[in-house]
Amino acid sequence: MAEKIRRHARAGIALIAVIGMAALTTACLSGGEEDDGTLKMVVWGGDLEKETYQERIDLLEAEHPDIKVDLQLIPSEQYEQKVQTMIAGGDGPDIMQVAEGVNVYSSKSQILPLDEYVSEAGLDLEERFGPAVGELYSYEDQVYAIPDRSGAIITYYNKDIFDAAGVEYPTAEWTWEDAQSAMEKTTSPEDGQWGYTGAGWWAQWWSFVYQNGGQIVGDDGKPAVNSPEAVEAVQWANDLVHENHYAPTAAEYADMGPDMGGDPLFASGAVALNTTGFWGIGTLQEADFNWGIAPLWGGDQQAATGFGSGLSISRDSANPDKAFEAIDFLTDVEGQEVIIDKAMDVPANIQVQQSEAFLKPEWAPEGLNMGAFAESSDFIYQAPFIPQWNEMQSTINDGLETFWSEGGDAQTELDEIQSQLETVVE
Amino acid sequence: MSSNIVGDALGAARSARRTGRRRTKLSRRGKKEAFYFWLFISPWLIGFVGFLLGPMIASVYISLTEWDSFTEPQFVGLANYTQALTEDPIFWKVLGNTFFYALISVPLSLVIGVWLANLLNKRVRGRKIFRTLIYLPTLVPLVATAMVFKMILAPSGPLNDLLGWFGIQGPQWLLDPNWIKPALIVLSMWGAGAATVLLLSAMNGIPRELYEAAEIDGASSWRQFWAVTFPQITPIIFFNLIMGLIGAFQIFSQVYILAPGGNVGGPDNASQMMVTLLFDQAFSFYHFGYASAIAWLLFVIIMLFTLIAFRTARKWVFYESEVR
């Protein structure tokens, strides 16, 4: 009997194995099915992104009948994990959207260097995207992604508040002093009116560090967050909140509601100045006050964080040539205009940024200075897209959180972070 | 319970083997039964082997390597473990955070659970409504709860207003490194209703005559609670203790949702817990080997505490049917 049970056990195990094999084979088959030349493209975002990318792909497929693209949209917060799983499983997409984390993949040869494809296609990156953005996604002198979206951080201002205070509207020529004096004149605590929304987000204070001649990671690849220039910029940004109280503190923001931050507060009409990306326009469509945009002010030099993303080709792509052909089209004028027509983002293509379609979009309020984006393109500094980007951000955020919410001495905080970063950034 | 079933089954098998002849007679049925046993258990078995046991064994190996999930893993021996225990600047802090949370929130929610269950066991008007209300928070999705708590714990929020009536200046809770962990503990109390329901049903199961006897002996209600109620519900308290400990050491979602600005570490890493650290290391920093090592260290810790709980259980957990 024991023998029989054992035999049954074996049969059972065999059954399990068969079921398991069946599951595996179907998985393999369904994986293999896609090999009819259809390109798999992954991007992040929501409904608006899905609609925009799909429309661009429709244009591509109409123009290049031999190319078929299967678009997969992944919610932003899951994007990195999903793509990581795909690549680790040997089923990486043909075309994938990358941003600050690009060199996680390039440093480990998970995406293809594109220089050869670029020169074969006769593509001039600097001409198409401008000198600051063209080779933004490079690692060890090789290009790994073609810029697709690229809007700099810009200044949003509440015209009503500025007019009432009799202050000139912001321009790219503003210095820190000009910005500070405008904040001073527009802050009015008794009316619940603030001069600024604050600069505790990396994209904001990094801009000031680079304006001041500082860097987050130096040209030698070593962290440089406690340089005198960086310390001065960070202290200035923090003092705007805690010394001068032009902007609400973290505690005051927390009191306004669970999802309150600079952008919604500006959209409520209670602040004179906000510094954020293109998406700020979307939150202001229904604003009941007059507002405008301008390039970010400057310090010793102009510098603004770029919010962009590029398109890359994974090592698993069976058709890298076709994939590049698709990317070439998507980043050319025709493929890029949809991005602005849909009011989704700033197209990376400089020619589009300077076109009528971009400067006077249907949806924009009368007289909105859309040229601010093209003007800012030249100010975008080369941010350190190191392979350890996430770890660096996490170290900085954890270390500075109390500093931003309660104020303090920038030198002490940045010295501490510098020593931690030295262990993170090799 | 479950150990009893296993014991019976083993006993049955043993006696069956001794009476060999009877078993051959039953062999047809036995065969069929065994077949169905394997058939019906196979979905679970496949799931267990494929999705739990396999990955667990793999993670032992991964914890001995340096692996970014893209390129080939490099064998590094115990380096990940020594890195966690001796080099990582935040590992011990994170471990401390996790202990702080587990060792306060678990006993506290048990005390509150027993207290609530005892109240709900009293014959008062509207008892059923109260019972429903106590359990209701457990049914609210965690994300919704966390959003509400963000408002309640705001620096000038309702909780601090309440404290203000008693002349207490409330802390900034989620923004303050010293208060973010107590804030998480306050949030965990919100779910005390789940334990309450179990404890309440245990209390209902206590024979009336025990109380009657105690009353005749002149026991006060306090004395009745300690001498009758409490010993009778210790098995349920024990169950809640074990489950609570395991759950508390693995705290993740609450931190992920509550931490200000989506920065899981919180101010000065004050709210970084073992599992959130593990998650960041694996899926954000691409250190799978290190993350696996953290997972196994956490496993050992949970195992240790569970063992301690089981060892001491003999001294305070009372099973009525048990003969010592």
HEC sequence for B243-310:
HHHHHHHCCCHHHHHHCHHHCCCCHHHCCCCHHHHHHHHHHHCCCHHHHHHHHHHHHHHHHHHHHHHH
Average pLDDT over residues B106-110: 94
Contact B261 A397 (CB under 8 A): yes
- What band does A24 get if pLDDT is binned at 50, 70 and 90? very low
Distance linking the first and last C-alpha atoms of chain A: 64
pLDDT for position B30: 86
Q: Which residue of B has its CA nearest to A398?
A: B268
Residue B19 pLDDT > 70: no
**Same domain, residue pair A337 and A404:** no
Distance linking the first and last C-alpha atoms of chain B: 17
**Same domain, residue pair A163 and A188:** yes
DSSP-derived secondary structure letter, B225:
I
Looking up residue A232, the CATH number of its domain turns out to be: 3.40.190.10
Q: Which residue of B has its CA nearest to A19?
A: B46
The percent of residues in chain B predicted with pLDDT above 70, rounded, is 90
Which helix (H) or strand (E) segment is B147 a member of?
helix B142-152
Beta-strand runs (E) in A29-186 = 38-44, 68-74, 95-98, 138-139, 142-143, 146-152, 154-158
- Rounded to an integer, what is the distance from CA A335 to the centroid of its chain? 20
Torsional class of A300: left (φ above 0), alpha (ψ -120 to 50), beta (otherwise): alpha
Calculate how close chain A gets to B262, using CA atoms only, in Å. 10
**To the nearest 10°, the Cα dihedral for A241, A245, A250, A255?**
-160
CATH architecture of B82-316: Orthogonal Bundle (1.10)
- Residue B186: name the closest of B174, B176, B169 by CA: B174
Instruction: Order the strands of the A271-276 sheet from edge to edge.
Output: A194-196, A271-276, A154-158, A291-295
pLDDT for position B267: 79
- What band does B261 get if pLDDT is binned at 50, 70 and 90? low
Between the CA of residue A24 and those of A204, B275, B301, what are the distances in Å?
48, 31, 36
Q: Would residue A42 count as lying in a domain? A: yes
- Between CA A154 and CA A348 the distance in angstroms is 15
DSSP-derived secondary structure letter, A48:
H
- Between CA A370 and CA A389 the distance in angstroms is 31
Residue A31 tokens, joined:
């994986």
Q: Would residue A31 count as lying in a domain? A: no
Average pLDDT over residues B122-140: 88
- What band does A35 get if pLDDT is binned at 50, 70 and 90? low
Judged by average pLDDT, the poorest of A109-123, A233-247, B165-179, B225-239 is B165-179
pLDDT for position B14: 46
Domain ranges of chain B: 2-62, 82-316
**Same domain, residue pair A352 and A393:** no
pLDDT for position A12: 45
Sign for the CA dihedral angle at B85, B88, B89, B90 comes to negative
Contact A207, A248 (CB under 8 A): no
Average pLDDT over residues A60-76: 94
Angle between helix B193-204 and helix B230-249 axes, rounded to 10 deg:
160
Residue B15 tokens, joined:
């006696």
Judged by average pLDDT, the poorest of A391-405, B3-17, B185-199 is B3-17
pLDDT for position A52: 95
Partners of B272 on chain A (C-beta within 8 Å) are 398
Average pLDDT over residues A92-96: 95
Q: Would residue A294 count as lying in a domain? A: yes
Nearest to B38 among A1, A9, A420 (CB): A9
**Same domain, residue pair A165 and A146:** no
- What band does B12 get if pLDDT is binned at 50, 70 and 90? very low
Q: Would residue A23 count as lying in a domain? A: no
**Same domain, residue pair A214 and A140:** no
- Between CA B168 and CA B39 the distance in angstroms is 63
Partners of A252 on chain B (C-beta within 8 Å) are 155
- Between CA A55 and CA A57 the distance in angstroms is 5
More confident residue, A12 or A45: A45
Sign for the CA dihedral angle at A120, A124, A126, A129 comes to negative
Return the amino acid letter for A89. Answer: G
Span A250-265, pLDDT tens digits: 889 988 887 788 999 9
Residue B22 pLDDT > 70: no
Contact B286 A84 (CB under 8 A): yes
pLDDT for position B264: 74
Calculate how close chain B gets to A269, using CA atoms only, in Å. 22
Buried-state track B38-72, b at ≥16 Cβ within 10 A, e below 16: beeebeebbeeeeeeeeeeeebeebbbbbbbbbee
Residue B9 pLDDT > 80: no
Contact A20 B261 (CB under 8 A): no
Partners of B154 on chain A (C-beta within 8 Å) are 254-255
- Between CA B153 and CA B171 the distance in angstroms is 9
Q: Which residue of A has its CA nearest to B14?
A: A2
Query: Mutate which of B284, B287, B288, B290 to test chain A, going by most A C-beta atoms within 10 A?
Result: B284
- Residue A210: name the closest of A344, A141, A301 by CA: A301
Calculate how close chain B gets to A188, using CA atoms only, in Å. 21
Nearest to B267 among A8, A80, A401 (CB): A401
Cα three-residue angle A107-A112-A116, rounded to 5 degrees: 120
- The 3-class SS string of B156-189 reads CCHHHHHHHHCCCCCCCHHHCCCCHHHHHHHHHH
**Same domain, residue pair A107 and A57:** yes
Residue B93 pLDDT > 80: yes
**Same domain, residue pair A338 and A210:** no
Residue B36 pLDDT > 60: yes
pLDDT for position B165: 92
A422: Cβ–Cβ under 8 A, 6 or more apart, which residues? A222, A223
Partners of A420 on chain B (C-beta within 8 Å) are 89
Average pLDDT over residues B39-60: 94
pLDDT for position B262: 62
Cα three-residue angle A409-A414-A416, rounded to 5 degrees: 105
Mean pLDDT of the residues in chain B:
86
CB atoms within 10 A of CB A65: 7
- Residue A114: name the closest of A126, A101, A125 by CA: A125
Partners of A11 on chain B (C-beta within 8 Å) are 35, 38
Give the total number of structural domains in chain A: 2
Partners of A255 on chain B (C-beta within 8 Å) are 154-157
Q: Give the residue numbers spanning the domain of A178.
A: 154-305+382-424
Contact B35 A8 (CB under 8 A): yes
Contact A391 B50 (CB under 8 A): no
Calculate how close chain A gets to B126, using CA atoms only, in Å. 34
Q: Which residue of B has its CA nearest to A392?
A: B285
**Same domain, residue pair A337 and A194:** no
**Same domain, residue pair A415 and A269:** yes
The percent of residues in chain A predicted with pLDDT above 70, rounded, is 92
Query: Mutate which of B14, B25, B40, B68 to test chain A, going by most A C-beta atoms within 10 A?
Result: B68
Calculate how close chain B gets to A221, using CA atoms only, in Å. 18
A212: Cβ–Cβ under 8 A, 6 or more apart, which residues? A229, A230, A232, A233, A299, A300
pLDDT for position B320: 74
Partners of A109 on chain B (C-beta within 8 Å) are 71
Size of interface A-B (CB pairs under 8 A): 114
Contact B280 A4 (CB under 8 A): no
Between the CA of residue A230 and those of A198, A246, A304, A307, what are the distances in Å?
17, 21, 15, 21
Partners of B49 on chain A (C-beta within 8 Å) are 16
Contact B175 A254 (CB under 8 A): yes
pTM of the model: 0.83
Residue B213 tokens, joined:
């006897």
**Same domain, residue pair A51 and A161:** no
pLDDT for position B7: 40
Calculate how close chain A gets to B310, using CA atoms only, in Å. 34
**Same domain, residue pair A258 and A402:** yes
Between the CA of residue A156 and those of A197, A266, A369, B198, what are the distances in Å?
10, 9, 11, 56
Query: Mutate which of A98, A256, A394 to test chain B, going by most B C-beta atoms within 10 A?
Result: A394
Residue B209 tokens, joined:
């005559």
Judged by average pLDDT, the poorest of A330-339, A364-373, B261-270 is B261-270
Residue B76 tokens, joined:
């590094």
Average pLDDT over residues B80-104: 93
Average pLDDT over residues A326-350: 94
Q: Which residue of B has its CA nearest to A255?
A: B154
Which helix (H) or strand (E) segment is A45 a member of?
none
Between the CA of residue A338 and those of A55, A126, A330, B25, B183, what are the distances in Å?
7, 22, 10, 78, 47
Partners of A386 on chain B (C-beta within 8 Å) are none
Average pLDDT over residues A273-278: 95
Judged by average pLDDT, the poorest of A180-194, A399-413, B254-268 is B254-268
**To the nearest 10°, the Cα dihedral for A312, A318, A322, A326?**
-40
Q: Would residue A2 count as lying in a domain? A: no
Contact A87 B284 (CB under 8 A): no
Partners of A15 on chain B (C-beta within 8 Å) are 38-39, 42
**Same domain, residue pair A105 and A249:** no
Residue A268 pLDDT > 90: yes
Return the amino acid letter for B197. Answer: V
Nearest to B71 among A9, A108, A420 (CB): A108
Calculate how close chain A gets to B264, using CA atoms only, in Å. 8
B314: Cβ–Cβ under 8 A, 6 or more apart, which residues? none
The percent of residues in chain A predicted with pLDDT above 90, rounded, is 75
Burial zone of A81 (CB within 10 Å; 0-12 exposed, 13-18 middle, 19+ buried): middle
- Residue A272: name the closest of A174, A179, A173, A406 by CA: A179
Nearest to B69 among A16, A84, A401 (CB): A84
Tokens 């705290």 found at = B251
